Structure 1
Amino acid sequence: MTTAIIIIAVVAVAAVAAFFLLRGRHNGGRGLRSRFGPEYDRVVARHGGDTEAAERELGDRVRRHGNLDERPLTEEARARYAARWASAQELFVESPERALTEADALLADLSRERGFPDGEDFEDRTDALSVHHAAHVDGYRRIHTARHGDADTEERREALIEGRKLFDALLAGGSSGREHGNRHLVKGRGTS
Protein backbone atom coordinates (compact mmCIF):
# COMPACT_ATOMS: atom_id res chain seq x y z
CA MET A 1 0.00 0.00 0.00
CA THR A 2 2.79 2.46 0.89
CA THR A 3 4.60 1.65 -2.35
CA ALA A 4 1.45 2.39 -4.37
CA ILE A 5 1.07 5.78 -2.67
CA ILE A 6 4.72 6.64 -3.38
CA ILE A 7 4.36 5.64 -7.04
CA ILE A 8 1.18 7.73 -7.41
CA ALA A 9 2.91 10.71 -5.75
CA VAL A 10 5.95 10.41 -8.05
CA VAL A 11 3.73 10.20 -11.14
CA ALA A 12 1.70 13.21 -9.99
CA VAL A 13 4.85 15.28 -9.35
CA ALA A 14 6.25 14.27 -12.76
CA ALA A 15 2.98 15.24 -14.47
CA VAL A 16 2.92 18.64 -12.75
CA ALA A 17 6.59 19.23 -13.62
CA ALA A 18 5.97 18.28 -17.27
CA PHE A 19 2.97 20.59 -17.41
CA PHE A 20 4.96 23.59 -16.14
CA LEU A 21 7.94 22.76 -18.34
CA LEU A 22 5.79 22.67 -21.48
CA ARG A 23 3.85 25.75 -20.42
CA GLY A 24 7.09 27.66 -19.79
CA ARG A 25 8.50 26.69 -23.19
CA HIS A 26 5.27 27.78 -24.89
CA ASN A 27 5.24 31.14 -23.08
CA GLY A 28 8.92 31.68 -23.94
CA GLY A 29 8.06 31.40 -27.62
CA ARG A 30 5.22 33.89 -27.22
CA GLY A 31 7.60 36.25 -25.42
CA LEU A 32 10.16 35.99 -28.19
CA ARG A 33 7.47 36.41 -30.86
CA SER A 34 6.22 39.53 -29.09
CA ARG A 35 9.72 40.93 -28.56
CA PHE A 36 11.01 40.28 -32.08
CA GLY A 37 7.84 40.65 -34.16
CA PRO A 38 8.65 40.29 -37.88
CA GLU A 39 12.22 39.30 -37.02
CA TYR A 40 10.83 36.21 -35.26
CA ASP A 41 9.03 35.14 -38.44
CA ARG A 42 12.15 35.80 -40.55
CA VAL A 43 14.31 33.60 -38.30
CA VAL A 44 11.70 30.82 -38.21
CA ALA A 45 11.55 30.88 -42.02
CA ARG A 46 15.35 30.80 -42.24
CA HIS A 47 15.27 27.69 -40.03
CA GLY A 48 12.77 26.02 -42.36
CA GLY A 49 9.85 26.44 -39.96
CA ASP A 50 11.73 24.94 -36.98
CA THR A 51 10.48 27.21 -34.19
CA GLU A 52 12.66 25.55 -31.55
CA ALA A 53 15.84 26.27 -33.55
CA ALA A 54 14.68 29.83 -34.23
CA GLU A 55 13.87 30.41 -30.56
CA ARG A 56 17.28 29.07 -29.55
CA GLU A 57 18.91 31.54 -31.93
CA LEU A 58 16.80 34.47 -30.73
CA GLY A 59 17.36 33.50 -27.09
CA ASP A 60 21.09 33.45 -27.78
CA ARG A 61 20.85 36.94 -29.29
CA VAL A 62 19.10 38.20 -26.16
CA ARG A 63 21.77 36.63 -23.93
CA ARG A 64 24.61 38.12 -26.01
CA HIS A 65 23.17 41.57 -26.67
CA GLY A 66 20.26 42.13 -24.27
CA ASN A 67 22.30 44.01 -21.68
CA LEU A 68 23.81 46.37 -24.21
CA ASP A 69 23.28 49.95 -23.12
CA GLU A 70 22.78 52.32 -25.99
CA ARG A 71 25.01 55.35 -25.61
CA PRO A 72 23.33 58.72 -26.05
CA LEU A 73 24.27 61.01 -28.91
CA THR A 74 25.34 64.59 -28.55
CA GLU A 75 23.25 67.20 -30.34
CA GLU A 76 26.22 67.77 -32.68
CA ALA A 77 26.30 64.07 -33.56
CA ARG A 78 22.54 64.04 -34.18
CA ALA A 79 22.88 67.01 -36.52
CA ARG A 80 25.82 65.42 -38.33
CA TYR A 81 23.95 62.14 -38.88
CA ALA A 82 20.76 63.94 -39.94
CA ALA A 83 22.76 65.90 -42.53
CA ARG A 84 24.40 62.71 -43.81
CA TRP A 85 21.01 61.02 -44.20
CA ALA A 86 19.59 64.04 -46.03
CA SER A 87 22.58 63.93 -48.38
CA ALA A 88 22.07 60.21 -49.02
CA GLN A 89 18.41 60.82 -49.87
CA GLU A 90 19.31 63.65 -52.23
CA LEU A 91 21.99 61.49 -53.86
CA PHE A 92 19.35 58.84 -54.60
CA VAL A 93 18.04 60.84 -57.57
CA GLU A 94 21.46 60.88 -59.21
CA SER A 95 22.75 57.47 -58.10
CA PRO A 96 20.58 55.02 -56.14
CA GLU A 97 23.57 52.67 -55.72
CA ARG A 98 25.76 55.35 -54.12
CA ALA A 99 22.85 56.52 -51.97
CA LEU A 100 22.39 53.01 -50.58
CA THR A 101 26.14 52.65 -50.05
CA GLU A 102 26.10 55.87 -48.02
CA ALA A 103 22.97 54.83 -46.08
CA ASP A 104 24.54 51.43 -45.31
CA ALA A 105 27.75 53.07 -44.04
CA LEU A 106 25.76 55.68 -42.12
CA LEU A 107 23.69 53.05 -40.29
CA ALA A 108 26.88 51.15 -39.42
CA ASP A 109 28.52 54.32 -38.09
CA LEU A 110 25.44 55.43 -36.16
CA SER A 111 24.83 52.03 -34.59
CA ARG A 112 28.53 51.81 -33.64
CA GLU A 113 28.39 55.24 -31.99
CA ARG A 114 25.25 54.19 -30.09
CA GLY A 115 27.21 51.22 -28.67
CA PHE A 116 26.32 48.33 -30.97
CA PRO A 117 29.05 45.95 -32.16
CA ASP A 118 31.48 47.49 -34.59
CA GLY A 119 33.82 45.88 -37.04
CA GLU A 120 32.96 44.35 -40.36
CA ASP A 121 30.53 41.68 -39.12
CA PHE A 122 27.21 42.83 -40.52
CA GLU A 123 25.34 39.81 -39.11
CA ASP A 124 26.59 40.37 -35.56
CA ARG A 125 25.59 44.04 -35.76
CA THR A 126 22.11 43.24 -37.11
CA ASP A 127 21.67 40.50 -34.50
CA ALA A 128 22.38 43.05 -31.76
CA LEU A 129 20.16 45.64 -33.40
CA SER A 130 17.35 43.08 -33.66
CA VAL A 131 17.34 42.67 -29.88
CA HIS A 132 16.80 46.40 -29.34
CA HIS A 133 15.14 47.53 -32.59
CA ALA A 134 13.44 44.41 -33.94
CA ALA A 135 10.68 46.29 -35.74
CA HIS A 136 13.17 48.26 -37.84
CA VAL A 137 16.25 46.10 -38.38
CA ASP A 138 14.86 44.59 -41.57
CA GLY A 139 15.15 47.98 -43.27
CA TYR A 140 18.89 47.93 -42.61
CA ARG A 141 19.12 44.43 -44.09
CA ARG A 142 17.17 45.58 -47.13
CA ILE A 143 19.57 48.48 -47.71
CA HIS A 144 22.57 46.17 -47.32
CA THR A 145 21.10 43.55 -49.68
CA ALA A 146 19.83 46.01 -52.32
CA ARG A 147 23.21 47.71 -52.32
CA HIS A 148 24.98 44.43 -53.09
CA GLY A 149 22.32 42.80 -55.23
CA ASP A 150 20.49 43.23 -58.51
CA ALA A 151 17.70 45.36 -57.08
CA ASP A 152 15.83 47.71 -59.38
CA THR A 153 15.34 51.40 -58.59
CA GLU A 154 11.96 50.86 -56.90
CA GLU A 155 13.35 48.13 -54.63
CA ARG A 156 16.23 50.42 -53.71
CA ARG A 157 13.82 53.28 -52.97
CA GLU A 158 11.73 51.01 -50.73
CA ALA A 159 14.88 49.78 -48.97
CA LEU A 160 15.92 53.36 -48.25
CA ILE A 161 12.46 54.17 -46.88
CA GLU A 162 12.50 51.10 -44.62
CA GLY A 163 16.06 51.79 -43.50
CA ARG A 164 15.04 55.29 -42.51
CA LYS A 165 12.91 53.80 -39.73
CA LEU A 166 15.96 52.29 -38.03
CA PHE A 167 17.89 55.50 -38.64
CA ASP A 168 15.14 57.51 -36.93
CA ALA A 169 14.99 55.09 -33.98
CA LEU A 170 18.76 55.19 -33.48
CA LEU A 171 18.91 58.95 -33.90
CA ALA A 172 16.05 59.51 -31.46
CA GLY A 173 17.60 57.23 -28.88
CA GLY A 174 14.62 54.90 -28.45
CA SER A 175 15.29 51.26 -27.57
CA SER A 176 12.39 49.42 -29.13
CA GLY A 177 13.42 45.85 -28.32
CA ARG A 178 13.06 46.33 -24.59
CA GLU A 179 9.62 47.79 -24.99
CA HIS A 180 7.44 44.93 -26.08
CA GLY A 181 5.53 45.71 -29.20
CA ASN A 182 8.71 47.24 -30.64
CA ARG A 183 7.71 50.85 -30.11
CA HIS A 184 10.09 53.46 -28.85
CA LEU A 185 9.35 56.55 -26.84
CA VAL A 186 11.13 59.79 -27.39
CA LYS A 187 11.26 61.88 -24.27
CA GLY A 188 9.14 64.97 -24.64
CA ARG A 189 7.76 63.98 -28.06
CA GLY A 190 5.53 61.00 -27.30
CA THR A 191 5.54 57.85 -29.36
CA SER A 192 7.09 57.88 -32.80
Structure 2
Amino acid sequence: MPTWVVVLIVIAAVVVAGAVVWLVMQEMQRKRLQRKFGPEYERAVADHDNPRAAQRELAAREKRHNELDIRPLSPQAKERYTAQWAQIQAQFVDSPSPAVAEADRVLTQLMAERGYPTEGYDQQLADLSVKHSKTLDHYRHAHETMVGHEHEQKSTEDLRDAMVRYRTVFEDLLDDDAADDGHRHGETKQEAKHDAKHDPKHDDRGETRTEARVEDRIDERHDTTNERHDVRNGR
Protein backbone atom coordinates (compact mmCIF):
# COMPACT_ATOMS: atom_id res chain seq x y z
CA MET A 1 0.00 0.00 0.00
CA PRO A 2 1.46 3.38 -0.99
CA THR A 3 2.60 5.68 1.78
CA TRP A 4 0.23 8.47 0.70
CA VAL A 5 -2.73 6.11 1.07
CA VAL A 6 -1.65 5.22 4.57
CA VAL A 7 -1.32 8.91 5.41
CA LEU A 8 -4.83 9.63 4.10
CA ILE A 9 -6.27 6.74 6.12
CA VAL A 10 -4.55 8.00 9.28
CA ILE A 11 -5.76 11.56 8.67
CA ALA A 12 -9.31 10.34 8.06
CA ALA A 13 -9.22 8.25 11.21
CA VAL A 14 -7.99 11.25 13.24
CA VAL A 15 -10.72 13.47 11.79
CA VAL A 16 -13.42 10.91 12.54
CA ALA A 17 -12.11 10.33 16.06
CA GLY A 18 -11.97 14.09 16.64
CA ALA A 19 -15.55 14.48 15.40
CA VAL A 20 -16.73 11.69 17.69
CA VAL A 21 -14.97 13.26 20.70
CA TRP A 22 -16.48 16.65 19.85
CA LEU A 23 -19.98 15.20 19.60
CA VAL A 24 -19.56 13.35 22.89
CA MET A 25 -18.35 16.52 24.62
CA GLN A 26 -21.26 18.51 23.18
CA GLU A 27 -23.73 15.92 24.45
CA MET A 28 -22.11 15.92 27.88
CA GLN A 29 -22.30 19.72 27.96
CA ARG A 30 -25.97 19.62 26.95
CA LYS A 31 -26.85 17.13 29.69
CA ARG A 32 -24.87 19.08 32.29
CA LEU A 33 -26.65 22.33 31.43
CA GLN A 34 -30.01 20.57 31.45
CA ARG A 35 -29.34 19.23 34.94
CA LYS A 36 -28.07 22.54 36.23
CA PHE A 37 -30.67 24.87 34.73
CA GLY A 38 -33.66 22.53 34.67
CA PRO A 39 -36.69 24.25 33.09
CA GLU A 40 -34.55 27.30 32.29
CA TYR A 41 -32.65 25.22 29.75
CA GLU A 42 -35.80 24.58 27.72
CA ARG A 43 -36.80 28.24 28.01
CA ALA A 44 -33.39 29.34 26.72
CA VAL A 45 -33.59 26.91 23.78
CA ALA A 46 -37.05 28.25 22.91
CA ASP A 47 -35.72 31.83 22.99
CA HIS A 48 -32.84 31.12 20.60
CA ASP A 49 -32.54 30.01 17.00
CA ASN A 50 -30.76 26.79 17.93
CA PRO A 51 -29.68 24.80 21.02
CA ARG A 52 -26.00 25.74 20.54
CA ALA A 53 -26.80 29.44 20.95
CA ALA A 54 -28.83 28.69 24.07
CA GLN A 55 -25.99 26.64 25.53
CA ARG A 56 -23.53 29.47 24.89
CA GLU A 57 -25.77 31.90 26.73
CA LEU A 58 -26.23 29.55 29.69
CA ALA A 59 -22.47 28.99 29.86
CA ALA A 60 -22.00 32.77 29.87
CA ARG A 61 -24.45 33.01 32.78
CA GLU A 62 -22.37 30.45 34.68
CA LYS A 63 -19.17 32.39 34.02
CA ARG A 64 -20.72 35.66 35.22
CA HIS A 65 -22.18 33.95 38.29
CA ASN A 66 -18.78 32.52 39.23
CA GLU A 67 -17.41 36.05 39.32
CA LEU A 68 -20.10 37.25 41.74
CA ASP A 69 -19.55 37.33 45.48
CA ILE A 70 -22.53 35.19 46.47
CA ARG A 71 -22.61 34.70 50.22
CA PRO A 72 -24.92 33.16 52.83
CA LEU A 73 -26.90 35.29 55.25
CA SER A 74 -25.82 35.67 58.83
CA PRO A 75 -28.14 34.16 61.48
CA GLN A 76 -29.14 37.70 62.48
CA ALA A 77 -30.04 38.60 58.89
CA LYS A 78 -32.08 35.40 58.56
CA GLU A 79 -34.06 36.28 61.67
CA ARG A 80 -34.60 39.82 60.42
CA TYR A 81 -35.88 38.69 57.03
CA THR A 82 -38.06 35.99 58.57
CA ALA A 83 -39.67 38.58 60.85
CA GLN A 84 -40.17 40.95 57.90
CA TRP A 85 -41.83 38.23 55.88
CA ALA A 86 -44.20 37.35 58.73
CA GLN A 87 -45.26 41.01 58.87
CA ILE A 88 -45.84 41.10 55.12
CA GLN A 89 -48.03 38.00 55.25
CA ALA A 90 -50.03 39.47 58.12
CA GLN A 91 -50.39 42.73 56.17
CA PHE A 92 -51.80 40.84 53.20
CA VAL A 93 -54.99 40.01 55.13
CA ASP A 94 -56.15 43.64 55.09
CA SER A 95 -53.98 45.18 52.35
CA PRO A 96 -53.19 42.61 49.63
CA SER A 97 -51.81 45.00 47.01
CA PRO A 98 -49.30 46.86 49.25
CA ALA A 99 -48.23 43.53 50.78
CA VAL A 100 -47.38 42.04 47.37
CA ALA A 101 -45.41 45.17 46.42
CA GLU A 102 -43.54 44.97 49.73
CA ALA A 103 -42.82 41.26 49.16
CA ASP A 104 -41.21 42.13 45.82
CA ARG A 105 -39.14 44.89 47.42
CA VAL A 106 -37.94 42.71 50.32
CA LEU A 107 -37.07 39.89 47.93
CA THR A 108 -34.92 42.26 45.86
CA GLN A 109 -33.27 43.48 49.05
CA LEU A 110 -32.55 39.89 50.05
CA MET A 111 -30.96 39.20 46.65
CA ALA A 112 -28.68 42.21 47.09
CA GLU A 113 -27.62 41.11 50.56
CA ARG A 114 -26.79 37.67 49.22
CA GLY A 115 -24.54 39.32 46.62
CA TYR A 116 -26.77 39.32 43.54
CA PRO A 117 -26.72 42.51 41.44
CA THR A 118 -30.17 44.05 41.20
CA GLU A 119 -29.62 46.65 38.47
CA GLY A 120 -32.30 45.19 36.21
CA TYR A 121 -35.07 42.61 36.28
CA ASP A 122 -33.83 40.63 33.25
CA GLN A 123 -30.32 40.45 34.68
CA GLN A 124 -31.75 39.31 38.01
CA LEU A 125 -33.45 36.42 36.23
CA ALA A 126 -30.25 35.46 34.42
CA ASP A 127 -28.14 35.54 37.60
CA LEU A 128 -30.68 33.65 39.69
CA SER A 129 -31.11 30.97 37.02
CA VAL A 130 -27.68 29.50 37.76
CA LYS A 131 -28.45 28.40 41.34
CA HIS A 132 -32.19 28.96 41.76
CA SER A 133 -33.65 27.70 38.49
CA LYS A 134 -36.34 25.57 40.13
CA THR A 135 -38.02 28.55 41.79
CA LEU A 136 -37.33 31.14 39.10
CA ASP A 137 -40.64 30.64 37.31
CA HIS A 138 -42.42 31.47 40.57
CA TYR A 139 -40.54 34.76 40.65
CA ARG A 140 -41.51 35.52 37.05
CA HIS A 141 -45.21 34.89 37.64
CA ALA A 142 -45.32 36.82 40.92
CA HIS A 143 -43.42 39.80 39.52
CA GLU A 144 -45.60 39.91 36.41
CA THR A 145 -48.72 39.91 38.60
CA MET A 146 -47.33 42.71 40.74
CA VAL A 147 -46.39 44.84 37.73
CA GLY A 148 -49.64 44.04 35.94
CA HIS A 149 -51.64 45.08 39.00
CA GLU A 150 -50.26 48.60 38.60
CA HIS A 151 -51.96 48.86 35.18
CA GLU A 152 -54.89 46.48 35.48
CA GLN A 153 -56.59 45.64 38.76
CA LYS A 154 -55.87 42.03 39.67
CA SER A 155 -58.19 39.92 41.79
CA THR A 156 -57.37 39.14 45.40
CA GLU A 157 -56.90 35.51 44.39
CA ASP A 158 -54.29 36.55 41.80
CA LEU A 159 -52.47 38.57 44.45
CA ARG A 160 -52.67 35.67 46.89
CA ASP A 161 -51.11 33.38 44.25
CA ALA A 162 -48.32 35.94 43.72
CA MET A 163 -47.72 36.07 47.48
CA VAL A 164 -47.39 32.28 47.69
CA ARG A 165 -44.97 32.29 44.75
CA TYR A 166 -42.89 35.06 46.29
CA ARG A 167 -42.71 33.03 49.49
CA THR A 168 -41.35 30.02 47.57
CA VAL A 169 -38.53 32.14 46.12
CA PHE A 170 -37.96 33.81 49.49
CA GLU A 171 -37.45 30.45 51.21
CA ASP A 172 -35.08 29.32 48.46
CA LEU A 173 -32.93 32.45 48.75
CA LEU A 174 -32.99 32.41 52.53
CA ASP A 175 -31.52 28.91 52.62
CA ASP A 176 -27.72 28.75 52.91
CA ASP A 177 -27.69 25.37 51.12
CA ALA A 178 -28.79 27.11 47.93
CA ALA A 179 -25.43 28.95 47.89
CA ASP A 180 -23.42 25.88 46.87
CA ASP A 181 -23.59 23.06 44.34
CA GLY A 182 -24.16 20.27 46.85
CA HIS A 183 -26.31 17.24 46.16
CA ARG A 184 -29.38 19.20 47.23
CA HIS A 185 -28.66 22.01 44.73
CA GLY A 186 -31.71 23.78 43.39
CA GLU A 187 -34.08 21.97 45.73
CA THR A 188 -36.75 24.05 47.39
CA LYS A 189 -37.72 23.57 50.99
CA GLN A 190 -41.07 22.15 49.99
CA GLU A 191 -39.31 19.53 47.83
CA ALA A 192 -36.79 18.74 50.56
CA LYS A 193 -39.53 18.01 53.07
CA HIS A 194 -40.32 14.76 51.22
CA ASP A 195 -36.88 13.46 52.19
CA ALA A 196 -37.29 14.30 55.87
CA LYS A 197 -39.50 12.92 58.62
CA HIS A 198 -42.61 14.82 59.60
CA ASP A 199 -41.76 18.27 60.85
CA PRO A 200 -44.20 19.44 63.57
CA LYS A 201 -43.77 23.02 62.35
CA HIS A 202 -45.36 22.17 58.99
CA ASP A 203 -48.79 20.98 57.97
CA ASP A 204 -49.52 18.48 55.19
CA ARG A 205 -49.18 21.14 52.50
CA GLY A 206 -45.65 22.02 53.54
CA GLU A 207 -46.72 25.42 54.89
CA THR A 208 -45.78 26.59 58.36
CA ARG A 209 -48.62 26.74 60.84
CA THR A 210 -48.28 30.51 61.00
CA GLU A 211 -48.59 30.80 57.24
CA ALA A 212 -51.61 28.49 57.25
CA ARG A 213 -53.27 30.66 59.88
CA VAL A 214 -52.65 33.75 57.77
CA GLU A 215 -54.26 32.08 54.76
CA ASP A 216 -57.19 30.96 56.91
CA ARG A 217 -57.65 34.57 57.97
CA ILE A 218 -57.67 35.60 54.30
CA ASP A 219 -60.39 33.05 53.57
CA GLU A 220 -62.38 34.12 56.64
CA ARG A 221 -62.14 37.72 55.48
CA HIS A 222 -63.58 36.74 52.08
CA ASP A 223 -66.43 34.80 53.76
CA THR A 224 -67.26 37.73 56.03
CA THR A 225 -67.31 40.11 53.08
CA ASN A 226 -69.69 37.82 51.20
CA GLU A 227 -71.98 37.51 54.25
CA ARG A 228 -72.17 41.30 54.59
CA HIS A 229 -72.99 41.56 50.90
CA ASP A 230 -75.84 39.06 51.31
CA VAL A 231 -77.25 40.93 54.31
CA ARG A 232 -77.26 44.23 52.39
CA ASN A 233 -79.14 42.54 49.57
CA GLY A 234 -81.72 40.99 51.93
CA ARG A 235 -80.64 37.39 51.43
CA contact (8 A) 1:139 1:160 kept: no
Structure 2 segments unaligned to the other structure (5+ residues):
197-235
For residues 172 and 13 of structure 2, the distance between their equivalents in structure 1, rounded to whole angstroms, comes to 50
CA deviation map 1:101-131 (0-9, x unaligned): 111111110011011113x312212211111
Q: Mapping of 1:12-23 within 5 angstroms? A: 12-23=13-24
Where structure 1 has 5 or more consecutive residues not aligned to the other structure, the ranges are: none
TM-fit CA distance, 1:61: 0.3
Q: Which protein is bigger by CA-based radius of gyration?
A: 2
Compute the TM-score of the two structures, normalised by the length of structure 2: 0.70
Q: 1:139 to 1:160 in 2, by over 3 A?
A: same
- TM-score norm. by structure 1 comes to 0.85
CA contact (8 A) 1:134 1:182 kept: yes
- Looking at both structures, which has the greater relative contact order when contacts are Cα pairs under 8 Å and sequence separation is at least 6? 1
After the TM superposition, which residues 1-192 of structure 1 pair with which residues of structure 2 at under 5 Å, given as runs? Answer: 1-47=2-48, 50-118=50-118, 120-149=119-148, 150=152, 151-175=154-178, 178-179=181-182, 182-183=186-187
Structure 2 Cα separation of the partners of residues 172 and 83 of structure 1: 15
Letter in 2 for 1:141: R
CA displacement at 1:184 relative to structure 2: 6.8
Count of aligned residue pairs for this structure pair: 187
Deviation at 1:177, TM superposition (A): 6.8
Deviates more, 1:159-168 or 1:1-10: 159-168
Deviation of 1:137 (Å): 1.9
- Do the aligned partners of residues 54 and 40 (structure 1) sit closer, same or farther apart at CA in structure 2, a change above 3 Å counting? same
Alpha-carbon RMSD across the aligned residues, in angstroms, is 2.5
CA displacement at 1:67 relative to structure 2: 4.5
